[in-house]
Structure 1
Amino acid sequence: MAYLVNGQTPGPEIRAREGDDLEISVKNASPVNFTIHFHGINQRGTPWSDGVPGVTQAMILPGEVFVYKWTATQSGVYWYHAHSRELYDDGIRGPIYLESSDSQPTPFGLISSDPQDITAMESADKNPQVLSLSDRKHVNSEKDIEEWQRTHVEQLCVDSLLINGRGRVICPPQETFAPYIGFATPTLTAKGCAFPNNPGVYPYSDGKPDLVDSDVFFTCRNTTAPFSVVSVDPGSKWASLAFVNMAGLWQIKVSIDSHKLYVYSADGQYHKPQPVDIITIPVGERFQAMIKLDQPVADYTIRIAADEAPQFISGFAVLSYTRPSSATVDSLPQDVHPAMAYGGLVLNNSTTLDAMTLQPFPETLAPPKESTHTFILDLNRTNSLTWTLGHNPYQPFLELITPLLLAPQDASKLDPSIVFSYPLGSVIDMVFQAQAIPPSHPIHKHGKKAWIIGVGTGAFTWDSVATAMKEQPSFFNLKNPPLRDGFVTPFPINNEPTFLVIRYIVTDPAVTFIHCHISGHLVGGMAAVLMEGVDKLPPIPPYYRNAGL
């Protein structure tokens, strides 16, 4: 089962230009309640269009219409998705591309000094090929949650990985998984998943692995669905590819046979380009890369893979110099210098992007040297069903309360560990301290982007970032850190906690949201509300008070 947006999933691409005013009418023709969030969009002056139930709006009920209005103050690749429970896993999601204004400086002169190359890349950047990456389960999201609650075993196994909504179930020979067998995963199912009784993956004593649905973890049936085609024109010399991880569960890495990926944008923000063979994309995040179209005119395999245990799985599409993107193919071309094997094993000394080394372009985009507020968030798992961002979980029923944007005073009634308040003009340091419990957490902050100014192993024991910088300056970067709206915490090593620090400036009054973008972690409570300069909120327009009409 899947929900469709205008008859398809992923939904149709929203394409506009920086400076445009957008009006997006959403009719709920489904049997479930949801809202739509425009992921990564600033919502400058329009906080009522952020699409978070119980925070910025009420649910859109079956049969209702809600109209979102916002101005494209940014450029680059973004996406939209349902923002209730795990519903976007069921298909309510799609890409957004905002073309940059002609006045915006571009970083392509750092890839090539040839004027013809630069012109070709600038042209490609105006019209990129968007690749929507996702994982797919053969049960719907509510069944997935029910099974987790019934068995107390998190449903960490998907059926396939998709590119632009296409792909197939692949059941490789067991010897394919030999490189991944080790202490953490001594056995793998036919789907490449850790067994549900693996104590390293499912460590809670209340788990009931004997009760799990065997179709979820064990049963694998090959399918023959066609693969997507991504068409490029070799005459244009360069092509821009925009990768969006719309998955609900897995961090995904991507490569293209025989092609370097010149990464030049992350989360819609230009960064200094880096040539790599593989890009690792946490859930919710987006990267843009140029590829040079200098290979023989042919088809080449696009490979994606889940990035880490407990599942080793791949998906595929075809980059074609000859076929249109409307085409599909039933078989993959012959391997030509692949960077990854099935399951993501790195081949041929291929290089993988270290996103922490990306530097914003232009160089003037640097964070303030000092902050005014420090918040330390303890990312943890308190039992088999609960994840936290503060000390306590963000409860699912909060999706149904009167939106805090309409009643900001009600925030005082909530658990203080899930609400962060600060005035307009503040410079915020937010420290995400992840306990020694896998996996890494892809944290998404709604609204304005933030600089990732610090990362380290061990507990964050300081009272402020300024104090930490004096004692451990090597953990921090205030000169040219990445500027993002997604921040993935470091993977725990040797049972030690890790931390990541972001800094941002509060320039727009809003009631907004921050959360882990793994669907189960959000449902399990890993979220909090941000009350940003709420005493300066703009007047709520009448159309919004009338349910967006």
Structure 2
Amino acid sequence: MLALLLLLLVSSSLVTVLGLPSKHVEADYVLSPNWDLHAAPQVRHYDWLLTESYRAPGGKPRRMLVVNGMAPGPLIEANLGDVVEVRVTNEMADVTAIHWHGQPQRGSNEMDGSFGITDCGIAPGTSFTYRWTVQTTGTYWWHAHAAMQYSEGLHGPMILHDRDEGEQRAQYDTDRVLVASDLYDEPLKHYLHTYETREGFNGDMGVEPVPDCGLINGRGLCKGVAPTLAARAVMPLQGRRRHRFRLINAGALASIRFHLEGHRMTVIEADGTLVEPRQVDAVDVMVGQRYSVVVELDQAPGRYKFHADLLDDMFGMENPNLQRDQHILLEYRGGGSHVQELTGKVVQTLDQSDLRPLRAIDPPPSTEQDKLNIHFALTVSGRYRAFLNGSSWENAGWNGRSTLADMVDSMRHGKQFQPEEFVIEKPRGGVLDLIINNVDESDHPLHLHGHDAFLLGSGEGMFRHGESMDLSKPFVNPMRRDVFLVPTYGWAVVRVVLDNPGIWALHCHVTWHMAIGFMTQLSVLADDVVARSEIHTDHCSPIRLHLPPPP
């Protein structure tokens, strides 16, 4: 209580202070079985207030960013063909933008919510309404796309239904979302300066800050928390039933292993793509990725640990305060409170390379190839940065601009568009094989906005034509997803059909890597973007008013 009183004294007018968490999770995210899949297309309106608040999601007070008082924030739910309309009022101290992860935004590039690329941002004290049509279905999420805000609480689930979903529903009796993430004791910007220096942490340049614990639907347990605050959240479910869990990793760095002790799980979806069922003991989920699993509760009544443990595959140093194990207690309804003490041994984890889409689509032959080379290095000024083809992203959004607005202004006034940041320009569209070489000691979960990528292959070392793989051969139903892995000191090739006009971000979804420049832009069919009358650039005006006057 003393810690909270001290926080209250130093908090600004924009910050509210709430008490330590109860034994319940922040949000249940239970999907109603009565949701009408066949309702006429309609506008699904949401009204969000973004504020700053002192919370203790891991048992230790810290400043969080919240939506309508929630972190993670509200669930968005809609049907294919619905219009999602979200009015966002920013009462935080900083500019923000909201991205609708995995949504094509075909015909609405300006609603993608990529700060500095398609979005000039929402200034403090102002509102903006995002409006877009649901064009794909499955398990998705929304999150802030400015600075490192999504890792401070500005994220939440987004479940988009297909009208033919009834066949899926026959596989399970209930449906719910588990949003897991890592958590740092301090706001992330507290660590960023040291991360960018030559010395880094403990004299080791380029090593990312390691989190302190994890959260499941906004609740977790960090080390050093008093026993009275350590009560695990309980999720009562009916035994002898099948339950769908939609698993989302909304973290900053750590991969997360989901595992229900004593039970097997059947994977049926990955990143919005329904897949051929795979039965495993556990699923490892990288940052930004999503999976759906179905679990049959067929064991003895009682309570079982449902883990969302932090894996150390992305950690380059030790954190003595790290609490990797995080779990909630799944209780067989009516089965008592006894916790079944099992070994928790995981025999079989999902091999992502085994995934095959349930709906077969063979990619068309490529019309061109590009290479993207990843490396990290010091700049001449001594800052540690990420580079893509020698370019490190410096966000123009902080100057009240966006690439989309600059491009539209230039081309509508008959001027040649000259972007200040690296842009992969594809004015004629086509089918692109993007060959990505990773000269770095970390795996990278890459996310391409506006498109699902066909995953053609990956391997060790640098990609070599004629040796690594034959890109001229036909590919049969490769996996499709919007977050794909580029392995440590390895390569990956994805095929992308460039038929969605817009300026689209391509970036690593590790928050630390985005913060030091791991982002580029893909410009597709630019003339078609500029021709759309709906594109407007006055969205940048409130941001420019918010900026300090020039010296």
| Contact 1:515–1:522 (CA under 8 A) maintained in structure 2 | yes
> Quick one: which of 450, 454, 473 aligns to 1:451?
454
2:218 to 148, 152, 165: 165
Given the alignment, which residue of 355, 363, 366 partners 2:362?
Answer: 366
Q: In structure 1, which of residues 321, 335, 351 is the aligned counterpart of residue 341 of structure 2?
A: 335
Question: In structure 1, which of residues 260, 283, 293 is the aligned counterpart of residue 287 of structure 2?
Answer: 283
Q: Give the counterpart of 2:245 among 241, 245, 257.
A: 241
What code does the residue aligned with 2:113 have? G
Q: Aligned partners of 1:519, 1:248: CA distance in 2, in Å?
A: 5
Deviation, 1:356, is 1.8
Structure 1 residue 286: Cα displacement: 0.4
C-alpha displacement of 1:455: 0.8
What is the DSSP-based 3-state SS (H/G/I as helix, E as strand, rest coil) of the residue aligned with 1:406? helix
Q: Residue in 2 aligned with 1:22? A: 84
SS in 2 for 1:143: helix
Q: Does 1:535 align with 2:521?
A: no
Which residue does the alignment assign to 2:38?
none
**Gaps (5+ residues) in structure 1?**
109-117, 172-219, 340-346, 492-496
The percentage of counterpart residues that share the same residue type is: 27
2:192 alignment partner in structure 1: 145
CA distance in 2, matches of 1:477, 1:231: 48
Local SS of the residue matching 2:326: strand
Q: CA deviation at 1:54?
A: 1.6
- Aligned pairs, number: 456
1:320 partnered with 2:314? no
Superposition pairs of residues 192-203 of structure 1, within 5 angstroms:
none
Conservation of the 8 A alpha-carbon contact between 1:357 and 1:482? no
What is residue 261 of structure 2 aligned with on the other side?
A: 257
1:130 aligns with 2:177: yes
Which residue of structure 1 lines up, in the alignment, with residue 391 of structure 2? 392
**Shift of residue 408, structure 1, vs aligned partner:** 1.8
- SS of the aligned residue for 2:405 comes to coil
Q: Is the CA contact 2:396–2:402 (under 8 Å) kept in the aligned structure 1?
A: no
Tell me if the contact between 2:191 and 2:209 (Cα under 8 Å) persists in the aligned partners: no
Return closer, same or farther for 1:399/1:449 CA change in 2, 3 Å cut-off: farther
Deviations 1:271-318 (A, max 9, x none): 111101111111001011111122233221011222224457221112
1:357 and 2:383 matched: no
How far apart, CA to CA, are the structure 2 residues paired with 1:451 and 1:432?
Answer: 14
Q: Provide the secondary structure at the position in 2 that maps to 1:314.
A: coil
Distance 1:389 1:542 in 2: 29
Cα pair 1:255 1:278 within 8 Å, conserved: yes
- Partners of 1:426 and 1:474 in 2: CA distance: 16
The 2-side partners of 1:445 and 1:82 are apart by 16
Deviation at 1:374, TM superposition (A): 1.2
**What is the TM-score of this pair, normalised by structure 2?**
0.77
Q: How far is the alpha carbon of 1:475 from its aligned partner?
A: 12
Residue 274, structure 1, aligned to residue 278, structure 2:
yes
* In structure 1, distance between residues paired with 2:473 and 2:482: 18
Deviation at residue 147 of structure 1 after TM alignment: 3.5
Q: Distance in 2 between matches of 1:61 and 1:6?
A: 18
Partner of 1:405: helix, strand, or coil? helix
What per-residue deviation string (whole Å, max 9, x for no partner) do you get for residues 81-128 of structure 1? 1111111111111111112212x695x6xxxxxxxxx7243x64xxx2
What one-letter code is carried by the residue in structure 2 that aligns with 1:148?
A: Y
Structure 1 Cα separation of the partners of residues 526 and 160 of structure 2: 28
Answer yes or no: is the 8 Å Cα contact 2:83–2:131 preserved in 1: yes
CA distance in 1, matches of 2:231, 2:428: 51
Distance (Å, rounded) in 2 between the aligned partners of 1:222 and 1:431 = 51
TM-aligned CA distance change 1:415 to 1:390, over 3 Å: farther
Structure 1 residue 452 displacement after superposition: 0.6
1:403-414 to 2 correspondences below 5 Å: 403-408=402-407, 412-414=417-419
Specify which structure has the higher proportion of strand: 2
- Structure-to-structure mapping, 1:25-36, within 5 angstroms: 25-36=87-98
Range that drifts further, 78-87 or 381-390: 381-390
> Residue 479 of structure 2 aligns with which residue?
482
Cα 1:374–1:304 change in 2 (3 A) is: same
Structure with greater proportional helix content = 1
Once residues 476 and 131 of structure 1 are traced to their aligned partners in structure 2, the CA distance between those partners, rounded to angstroms, is 39
CA 1:490–1:52 in 2, change beyond 3 Å: closer, same or farther? Answer: same
Question: Could you list the runs of 5+ residues in structure 2 that have no partner in the other structure?
Answer: 1-62, 202-206, 411-415, 543-551
Deviation at 1:521, TM superposition (A): 0.5
Q: Describe the superposition over 1:20-56 as per-residue Cα deviations: whole angstroms up to 9, x where unpaired.
A: 1110111101111110111111112111110011211
Whole-angstrom CA distance in 1 between matches of 2:112 and 2:359? 28
Q: Deviations over 1:331-351 (max 9, x none)?
A: 993333513xxxxxxx4xx10
CA contact (8 A) 1:166 1:226 kept: no
What SS does structure 2 have at the residue aligned with 1:33? Answer: coil
> By how many angstroms is 1:489 displaced?
1.2
Per-residue CA deviation, residues 400-445 of structure 1 (Å, 9 max, x unaligned), is: 35222223276953467x210113541011111111x321001011
SS, match of residue 65 in structure 2: coil
SS in structure 2 opposite 1:4? Answer: strand
Residues 415 and 61 of structure 1: CA distance in aligned 2, closer, same or farther (over 3 Å): closer
Q: State the superposition RMSD in angstroms.
A: 2.9
How many Å separate the matches in 2 of 1:163 and 1:547? 36
